[in-house]
């Protein structure tokens, strides 16, 4: 196998993935398993950097894995695992902590945003070093490519810097990875505030589509999406963010080009677009939920898939860690 290697992780925090997670990240995971030697993990170590509940974490980690399988990850064609099942992540992270400057880590914008929201006293050192754990996550697999959303670009840059530093200090050990960001679907916006990114941490869930919600709830959210006072259905993110977001969602869910959709809805109103998209959404999400539930109803199968995934991941991770520890002088 000489296919390029891809590595990506997704948080189990919210239970259900939202439409932005799916269209911005998970869909790419499914595509990349055809062209890459792809490793995907549910990052439960990252999930405890903020206040958490053990029972919810355990349940949500399984729900995340079930959704990845339901979305089309095939354990025969990729390696799917839970981060905490592979202890090498934490072991390599320590070395990477010792190679990262305090000032360098302090410049990570995601940390600054999250810690500003929480306040200094509630911010953990774990949250501060989270990007450095991500460095270890990526380098352990000698990944060529890291499929992420635009918001993660800075962390991939940090990974490249630290990998070069390690190689420069201790001799060639790590491959230098690059971010794989898909432009067209890079960002899905909130249905009620189409200038803000759809996010689980939005102040209200009215504009957020959770994939595991009742399909009729999602249909209703699409039908009440904020658009504009114009009537033309045209892709113009700057002047028509709401309509453009609906077109992006429609196009990516069905594989129909934006231009084709603009033509289809020429002379029709926003109501027609929303009604059709609501139907597309229900048709897509109904079997997705059913497949997710099937995995959750069969814990033995899910456990076996995840155990096999962890075994495949560890085979690679342990080899890299042994090389790195040897170079460091352990």
Residues identified as active-site? 114, 197, 200
Rounded to a whole number of angstroms, the minimum distance from the CB of residue 109 to Na ion is 11
According to CB under 6 A, which one of 118, 167, 199, 205 is a site residue for ligand ADP? 199
Q: Which stretch binds Na ion (CB under 5 A): 53-61, 144-152, 300-308, 315-323?
A: 144-152
Among 31, 38, 15, residue whose Cα is nearest residue 71: 31
Query: If binding is defined by CB under 6 A, does position 188 make contact with ligand ADP?
Result: yes
Query: If binding is defined by CB under 6 A, does position 118 make contact with ligand ADP?
Result: no
According to CB under 6 A, which one of 152, 244, 245, 252 is a site residue for ligand ADP? 152
- Residues 148-167 binding Na ion (CB under 5 A) are 151
Query: If binding is defined by CB under 6 A, does position 251 make contact with ligand ADP?
Result: no
Query: If binding is defined by CB under 6 A, does position 97 make contact with ligand ADP?
Result: no
Rounded to a whole number of angstroms, the minimum distance from the CB of residue 25 to ligand ADP is 4
- Binding residues for ligand ADP, rule CB under 6 A, total 17
CA pair distance 64, 126, nearest whole angstrom: 22
Query: If binding is defined by CB under 6 A, does position 200 make contact with ligand ADP?
Result: yes
**Binding track, positions 7-46, relative to ligand ADP; x by CB under 6 A:** ---xx--------xx--xx---------------------
Q: Which CB atom, from 23 or from 306, has the smaller least distance to Na ion?
A: 23
According to CB under 6 A, which one of 106, 201, 266, 301 is a site residue for ligand ADP? 201
Which residues are bridge partners to 273 per DSSP? none
Q: Which CB atom, from 159 or from 227, has the smaller least distance to Na ion?
A: 159
Query: If binding is defined by CB under 6 A, does position 195 make contact with ligand ADP?
Result: no
Query: If binding is defined by CB under 6 A, does position 213 make contact with ligand ADP?
Result: no
Among 217, 291, 281, residue whose Cα is nearest residue 254: 281
Phi and psi at 168, nearest 5°, equal -70, -35
Phi and psi at 307, nearest 5°, equal -70, -45
Query: If binding is defined by CB under 6 A, does position 148 make contact with ligand ADP?
Result: yes
Residue ranges binding ligand ADP (CB under 6 A): 10-11, 20-21, 24-25, 148-149, 151-152, 187-188, 197-201
């Amino acid at each position: 196998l000489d296919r390029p290697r891809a590595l990506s992780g997704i948080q189990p925090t919210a239970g259900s993935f939202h439409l932005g997670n799916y269209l911005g990240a998970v869909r790419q995971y499914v595509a990349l398993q055809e062209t890459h030697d792809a490793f995907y993990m549910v990052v439960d170590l990252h999930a405890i950097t903020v206040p958490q509940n053990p029972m919810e974490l355990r349940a949500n980690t399984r729900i995340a894995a079930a959704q990845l399988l339901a979305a089309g990850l095939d354990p025969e064609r990729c390696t799917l695992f839970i981060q905490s099942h592979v202890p090498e992540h934490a072991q390599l992270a320590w070395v990477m902590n010792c190679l990262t400057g305090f000032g360098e880590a302090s410049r990570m914008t995601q940390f600054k945003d999250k810690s500003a929201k929480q306040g200094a006293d509630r911010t953990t050192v774990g949250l501060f070093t989270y990007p450095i754990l991500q460095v270890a996550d990526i380098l352990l697999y000698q990944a060529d490519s890291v499929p992420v959303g635009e918001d993660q670009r800075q962390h991939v840059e940090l990974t490249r810097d630290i990998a070069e530093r390690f190689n420069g200090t201790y001799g060639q050990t790590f491959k230098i990875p690059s971010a794989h960001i898909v432009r067209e679907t890079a960002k899905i916006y909130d249905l009620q505030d189409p200038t803000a990114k759809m996010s689980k941490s939005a102040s209200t869930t009215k504009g957020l589509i959770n994939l595991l919600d009742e399909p009729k709830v999602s249909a209703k959210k699409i039908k009440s999406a904020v658009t504009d006072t114009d009537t033309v259905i045209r892709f113009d993110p700057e002047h028509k963010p709401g309509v453009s977001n609906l077109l992006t969602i429609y196009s990516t869910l069905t594989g129909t080009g934006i231009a084709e959709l603009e033509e289809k809805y020429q002379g029709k109103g926003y109501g027609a677009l929303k009604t059709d998209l609501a139907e597309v959404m229900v048709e897509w999400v109904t079997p997705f939920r059913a497949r997710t539930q099937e995995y959750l109803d069969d814990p033995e199968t899910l456990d076996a898939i995840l155990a096999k995934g962890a075994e495949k991941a560890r085979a690679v991770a342990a080899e890299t860690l042994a090389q790195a520890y040897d170079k460091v002088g352990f």
